[in-house]
């Protein structure tokens, strides 16, 4: 190889090494933004800004191809939450699917926000929201909740199923956590951060 050719070769080899070194240096930084193995298995997490969800309203999103609802419960709704407790099949969510942090009356991290899968636990129909108190079609004892039109299952404002309907368990609660006051992440659990 001529002197000039050798110099060119050395200079190209140095630039390639430099570029590869650059990629390696970046890798740990980039990988810190990748979902964890568990999150990947569950499906990519999604972020939702909940700031504009008014009390009493519901927002529906899709996670892993499945409807997930975020209900901002009003004070009035929260006051009614345990008013039908004696009529529920699984009031303490012993037989139902939810992360541990949602095994409470509100089935949530923050009482005012219910994050729940919009899929009936009977045969998978989509329940509809029935938030009015005692509407004609639900009867005088109805305190607000969800109704599945397929076979008549009823759920309260925490997604807890009433006894005597075909659905065997409460609506499922997906993994979720709050990144901050206004950002909800669906697809990652609070517990996951410490796992």
Residues in contact with ligand FES by the rule CB under 6 A: 120, 122-125, 148, 150-153, 166-167
Can you read off the two tokens belonging to residue 179? 């990144």
The residue (of 21 and 149) whose beta carbon lies closer to ligand FES is: 149
CB of 103 to ligand FES, least distance (A): 23
Minimum CB distance to ligand FES, residue 151 (Å): 3
Dihedral over Cα of 7, 12, 13, 14: its sign: positive
Reference 94, options 106, 85, 103, 84; nearest CA is 103
Helix ranges (DSSP H) in 73-145: 75-80
Nearer to ligand FES, 72 or 122 (CB): 122
Q: Give the span between the Cα atoms of 122 and 115, in whole angstroms.
A: 19
Spatial separation of the C-alpha atoms in residues 147 and 127, rounded to whole Å:
5
- State the minimum distance, in angstroms, from the CB of residue 43 to ligand FES: 23
Q: Which is nearer to ligand FES, 169 or 189 (CB)?
A: 169
Nearest-approach distance from CB 45 to ligand FES, in angstroms: 27
Question: Which residue, 18 or 65, is less far from ligand FES as judged by CB?
Answer: 65
- Element (DSSP H or E) covering residue 21: helix 3-31
Our CB check for ligand FES shows the closer of 61 and 125 to be: 125
Distance CA(70)–CA(184), nearest Å, equals: 10
CB of 65 to ligand FES, least distance (A): 18
């Amino acid at each position: 190889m001529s002197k000039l050719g050798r110099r060119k070769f050395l200079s190209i080899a140095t630039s390639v090494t430099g570029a590869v070194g650059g990629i390696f240096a970046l890798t740990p930084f980039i990988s810190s933004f990748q979902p964890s193995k568990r999150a990947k298995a569950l499906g990519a997490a999604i972020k939702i800004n909940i700031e504009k969800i008014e009390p009493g309203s519901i927002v529906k999103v899709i996670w892993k191809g499945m409807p997930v609802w975020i209900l901002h419960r009003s004070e009035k709704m929260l006051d009614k939450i345990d008013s039908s407790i004696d009529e529920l099949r699984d009031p303490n969510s012993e037989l139902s699917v939810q992360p541990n942090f949602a095994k409470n009356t509100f089935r949530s991290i923050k009482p005012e926000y219910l994050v729940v899968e919009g899929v009936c636990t009977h045969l998978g129909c989509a329940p509809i929201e029935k938030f009015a108190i005692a509407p004609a079609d639900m009867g005088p004892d109805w305190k607000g909740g969800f109704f599945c039109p397929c076979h008549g299952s009823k759920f309260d404002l925490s997604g807890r199923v009433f006894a005597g309907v075909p659905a065997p368990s409460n609506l499922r609660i997906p993994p979720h956590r709050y990144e901050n006051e206004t950002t909800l992440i669906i697809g990652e659990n609070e517990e996951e951060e410490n796992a």
